[in-house]
Structure 1
Amino acid sequence: MRASVLVEPGRIEIRERAVPTPAPGDVLVQVSSVGVCGSDAHYYREGRIGEFVVEQPIVLGHEASGTIVGVGEGVATDRIGQRVSIEPQRPDPGSDETRRGLYNLCPHMQFYATPPIDGALAEYVTIGAAFAHAVPDEMSDDAAALCEPLSVAIATARKAGLTAGSRVLIAGAGPIGIATAQTALAFGATEVIVSDLDAQRRAVAAKFGATTVLDPREQDVSALRVDAFVDASGAPSAVLAGIGAVRPAGTVVLVGMGSSEMTLPVQTIQNRELILTGVFRYANTWPAAIALARSGRVDLDSMVTGKYPLAEAEQALNADRMPGSLKAVVRVQE
């Protein structure tokens, strides 16, 4: 099979590799679509994200969909031919975190495209059968792949405690910010305020349902009073301003990739008794993601702004530098 391999930072090669064999409990998936995530771009350009370092050639991509074409021992053969959205995780079923239901925090996790585990920018992959989620016929391959970033948004909305009538501020109108804005509305939030420095991205946020968009350079974000603040930017200035906007006993959720360390307004957090937490991937989100996308409450297809064949995976990894780009997708079989 063909696979797009990150040989070293800044260099991608299309290489021939053996088609993987599904282990007991696994399925073999012929990959259809793979969304490009900011983490993929980080690995491509810098070779690392924090403590995760690329030390050998690796296949990137963890937002994936496809069709089951083979099964391992113990998996029903009637799953062959099923279209699926891949939840790209292999937790240790015996770890304390997994047994608590928090399998995303398993210390022995094997996650697609996190060194040294290969990802989905290849013609075939294997995954545990329970992590290959069947999708309805009306869902596109691209939307099935983007159930992964939607799952991040769902995990974020749950952490933020969003519900009917919630007022939420989201910093950053990239893919996760846009997915979170749509999810917040689906969860019942009545005010979804999105801040971003870029006018084009603010316009995109408004298109996807944000009730208010603002430029934080022109408006005092900390003067707002919201129930929850979600940082999808990773910018320390955005985090500081956002914390200042949260009402007493409100919630702050950090999801954006940015500085590994930053100074926080501890007195504000203490005096307002704010809940401050992070989001690391997701757990138990795929059924909700598929339902939200199927219902039309979240529009994943419209988030796709670029489509590339596998041979042009490197261009897809650089698509985020193009004006107007929101989400690039690699069509593996084209």
Structure 2
Amino acid sequence: MELQENLSVVLHAAGDLRLEQRPVAAPRSHEVLLKINSVGICGTDIHFWKDGGGVRFVIDKPWTLGHEFSGTVVKVGSGVQHLKEGDRVAIEPGVPRENDEFVRTGRYNLSPTSFASGIPPNNGGMCQYYVHDASYCYKIPDLVSFEEGALVEPLSVAIHACRRAEVKMGCRIFICGAGTIGLMNLLVAKAMGAAQVVICDLLSDRLKMAKEMGADYTLKVEKETAEEMAQKVKASLGFMPDITIECTGAEICMQAGIYATRSGGVLALVGLGHEFANFPILHAIIREVDIRGVFKYCNTWPTAIDMLASKRIDVKPLVTHRFALKEALKAFETSKKGVGIKVMLKCDPNHLGQ
């Protein structure tokens, strides 16, 4: 099978996003060639496009964006046994290159050798055809759509966050941010047995969706101090939450998380903000509030797919906009404006539905 075209969304420098044809790679023995169907545009993609990099990542050559994606296997490497041509898969973008101590202990997301699709310098899945390690491609059943398959990535962030925070039956939770990751955490926390969840955001539309998706209380952030925000959380729940899951990366929300969380509780930091932040650390120390970092995910794809297949959670309402791959620039502009929740790129011109 000779594949000639591979339209791709390529970032050359800050603000310089282009649609161009790139070569179709041949899979090695442990890899599969995928025909990409759906790719979600993430806040990280917007950040790279606008700023051209970040604290940890620098763009020094053109590369293809995209790390939330799903597709169909079209060619299988000689050593691959568990996948075949025609299988529909959700792709885990983070692949460790070495069997180091983090891989051996099951925390491969922390491996310094980890390869991450769509994160510089590694090409991602905003294209028509993409090669990936077969061990990190997971079959999705017919009950799970391609779009849901693409959303397994942000869903996995939430599963990992809720595990790190030790969400359990009957707990009370405060979530900062009602974007994709905040809403995913809401869904997962409820599925894991959280009794009450209060969520805050700057935008009323997002809070409306949060309420529709199961939030018990919503708080619109105005011009409060971190301590005032914490008092609003306590007033909503009637007591301080056991767990705060911070999904914005904003310094004031991190601060509010410490003030709001009950003594002996957990503050899970999911959102990526600046390299340094001011913390009311004494409040965390004397009240023994555990501060836990959350980086990507590990061992989550099977759980996420099972959650979707069993209909325990419904992520479909999160997709508010769809664009064909050739409309990628328009899709990025839409996402940049903060309109809706998840903007989805449809990479297969013959399959533009869900």
Correspondence 1:259 to 2:297 = no
Cα displacement string for residues 79-102 of structure 1 (whole angstroms, at most 9, x for unaligned residues): 211000000122023222111111
Gaps of 5+ in 1: none
- What is the CA–CA distance in structure 2 between the aligned matches of 1:5 and 1:27, rounded to whole Å? 22
**CA RMSD, Structure 1 to Structure 2 (Å):** 1.4
Which one is further off, 43-52 or 168-177? 43-52
Amino acid at match of 2:152: C
Cα displacement string for residues 232-256 of structure 1 (whole angstroms, at most 9, x for unaligned residues): 1111111111211111111111111
Checking the alignment, whether the CA contact within 8 Å between 2:319 and 2:341 is kept in structure 1 is yes
Correspondence 1:279 to 2:287 = no
1:217 deviates by 3.3
- What is the CA–CA distance in structure 2 between the aligned matches of 1:173 and 1:49, rounded to whole Å? 23
Amino acid at match of 1:129: A
1:215 deviates by 2.1
Equivalent residue number for residue 7 of structure 2: 2
Equivalent residue number for residue 230 of structure 2: 222
Correspondence 1:165 to 2:173 = no
Equivalent residue number for residue 315 of structure 1: 330
Q: Scaled by the length of structure 2, what TM-score is found?
A: 0.91
Checking the alignment, whether the CA contact within 8 Å between 1:6 and 1:44 is kept in structure 2 is yes
Cα displacement string for residues 89-125 of structure 1 (whole angstroms, at most 9, x for unaligned residues): 2202322211111111110111011111000011111
Give the 3-state SS of the residue equivalent to 1:182 in structure 2: helix
Checking the alignment, whether the CA contact within 8 Å between 1:90 and 1:127 is kept in structure 2 is no
Cα displacement string for residues 15-41 of structure 1 (whole angstroms, at most 9, x for unaligned residues): 222211111211111100000110000
Equivalent residue number for residue 300 of structure 1: 315
Alignment of 1:153-232 (within 5 A): 153-217=158-222, 220-223=228-231, 224=234, 225-232=240-247
Q: Which of 268, 285, 291 is residue 306 of structure 2 equivalent to?
A: 291
Cα displacement string for residues 139-194 of structure 1 (whole angstroms, at most 9, x for unaligned residues): 11111000000000000100111011010100000000011101110010011110
Equivalent residue number for residue 3 of structure 2: none
Checking the alignment, whether the CA contact within 8 Å between 2:41 and 2:335 is kept in structure 1 is no
Checking the alignment, whether the CA contact within 8 Å between 1:68 and 1:80 is kept in structure 2 is yes
Aligned residues: 334
Amino acid at match of 2:241: V
Checking the alignment, whether the CA contact within 8 Å between 2:46 and 2:336 is kept in structure 1 is no
Alignment of 1:22-61 (within 5 A): 22-61=27-66
Amino acid at match of 1:329: M
Equivalent residue number for residue 110 of structure 1: 115
1:323 deviates by 5.6
1:201 deviates by 1.4
Gaps of 5+ in 2: 1-5, 235-239, 350-354
Cα displacement string for residues 26-59 of structure 1 (whole angstroms, at most 9, x for unaligned residues): 1111100000110000011101122211111010
Q: Percent identity?
A: 36
Checking the alignment, whether the CA contact within 8 Å between 1:156 and 1:180 is kept in structure 2 is yes
Amino acid at match of 1:316: A
- What is the CA–CA distance in structure 2 between the aligned matches of 1:95 and 1:54, rounded to whole Å? 27
Q: Scaled by the length of structure 1, what TM-score is found?
A: 0.96
- What is the CA–CA distance in structure 2 between the aligned matches of 1:77 and 1:169, rounded to whole Å? 40
Where in structure 1 do 4 or more consecutive aligned residues deviate above 6 Å? Answer: none
Checking the alignment, whether the CA contact within 8 Å between 2:83 and 2:134 is kept in structure 1 is no
Which one is further off, 319-328 or 160-169? 319-328
- What is the CA–CA distance in structure 1 between the aligned matches of 2:179 and 2:261, rounded to whole Å? 22
Give the 3-state SS of the residue equivalent to 1:53 in structure 2: coil
Amino acid at match of 1:112: S
